Amino acid sequence: MSDTLIEVRGLEVAFPLREKKLFGARTRLLRAVDGVTFDIRRGETLGLVGESGSGKTTVGRAILRAIDPTGGEVIFHTRGGDIDLAHADEHQLQKLRSRLGMVFPGRSATGSVGLHSLSGEALRLFRPRMSLVFQDPYSSLNPRMTVRDIIAEPLVAAGLMRDREQIDARVREIAARCKLNLEHLRRFPHAFSGGQRQRICIARALVAKPDFVVCDESVSALDVSIQAEIVNLLKDLQEELGVAFLFIAHDLSVVAQISHRVAVMYVGAFMEYAPVRKLFFTPRHPYTHALLSAVPVVDPDADYRPIRLPGEIPNPLALPSGCRFHTRCPFAKERCRAEVPAWREIAPEHYVACHFAEDFDFARPAPAPG
């Protein structure tokens, strides 16, 4: 497990909803994330797909503690190493602050930190180690700040660097890596196109050298050509910096392109989770199969027959009994209505939540690697 960066165990996020009733009020719990378990390795991209409302975004936010989990654990494995605090100079201390913040609650013997239990100051110091790239590059950049100040903000907010020249140097380095024109750093974001804004967002997310970045629908709003550029850029940056990504998207072909492993989510729970080729070419869950079949194919001669899922996505306040997918599953049987399927490893690294996963052959012709 040496290369595991983040371990997520039974993560739950529930929002209390107050309902006014004839007599008083009652509070019901909306289980946006209902116990998911997975891990993210150093330098890998985990793709997270699912329909709107499936809880993808909530998983990402909960890991970053932008939303507080209501259950489960999120363990962040830091590179241990001995650090002599007594002899570290001010500069080193400054850099260590973000790591020191994590020494507080939840620290385990292996130098890991339980993110779910961090609070307040500790969390703020810890944040620069992780970061977030949003979907909309227009609303996520402050129009009154220059590009340089936007990119530098995580360094300044966490107090990682105080020296202006040092900050400038770091900003210029990451901006260059993100293929931004350095002469544009003094400009304001309104002067940039969607693709360039997304580069600015990525530079900002990476400036503090985080180990982990959540990309939430980061390329969904972009044109196909710019999308291709950003995907290539993220892959290059990952190779150069060794950063891990949680790549949340509803476009399956983009996810396939960028991810090492992929998880499929449905109304708050994982249905399937496997290395990218296994998931796309030998899916085991009927939901994964249906999602894949619905991706429009550019070849007009291709056999495009999307599987119709009857009905609507269930209301998370009134989840179906048994398997939460049974109300729409073309293969649902009696057992699916009665019994919640176990989350099990059906093949090495291939996890699925379906009673009958072994019975399905959804395999599609896979192209030869390379």
SS3 324: coil
From the list 29, 102, 18, the residue with the least C-alpha distance to 65 is 102
CB of 5 to other proteins, least distance (A): 23
Positive or negative, the Cα torsion across 140, 143, 144, 150? positive
> Can residue 319 be called a binding residue for other proteins (CB under 8 A)?
no
Helices 224-241 & 164-177 angle (0-180, nearest 10): 120
By CB under 8 A, tell whether 279 contacts other proteins. Answer: no
Single-letter residue type at 336: C
CA–CA dist 46, 246 (Å, integer): 5
Q: Kindly tell me which residue out of 16, 81, 348, 370 binds other proteins, with binding defined by CB under 8 A.
A: 370
Q: Does 103 bind other proteins (CB under 8 A)?
A: no
Nearer to other proteins, 177 or 235 (CB): 235
The answer to whether the beta carbons of residues 210 and 238 sit under 8 Å apart is no
Which residue's CB is nearer to other proteins, number 58 or number 257?
257
Of 126-134, 139-147, 218-226, 349-357, the segment contacting other proteins by CB under 8 A is 218-226
String of DSSP letters for 69-84? -SEEEEEEE-------
**Contacts with 32 (C-beta within 8 Å, 6 or more apart), sequence order:** 13, 14, 15, 55, 58, 268, 316
Is 46 an interacting residue with respect to other proteins (CB under 8 A)? no
Choosing from 51, 136, 149, 168, the residue that interacts with other proteins (CB under 8 A) is: 51
Of 10, 277, 282, 346, the residue at the interface with other proteins (CB under 8 A) is 277
Min CB(266)–other proteins separation in Å: 11
Binding mask 148-187 for other proteins (x = CB under 8 A): ----------------------------------------
Q: CA 113 to CA 104: how far, in whole Å?
A: 8
Compute how many residues bind other proteins; rule: CB under 8 A. 47
The torsion defined by the Cα of 283, 285, 290 and 296, in degrees rounded to 10, comes to: -20
- CB within 8 Å of 24: residues ≥ 6 apart: none
Task: Give the nearest distance from C-beta 40 to other proteins in angstroms.
Answer: 20
Which one of the spans 21-29, 135-143, 267-275, 299-307 is the region binding other proteins (CB under 8 A)?
299-307
Residue ranges in contact with other proteins by CB under 8 A: 51-52, 193-196, 223-229, 231-232, 235, 250-254, 256-257, 276-277, 280-281, 290-291, 294-302, 304, 306, 308-309, 312-313, 367, 369-370
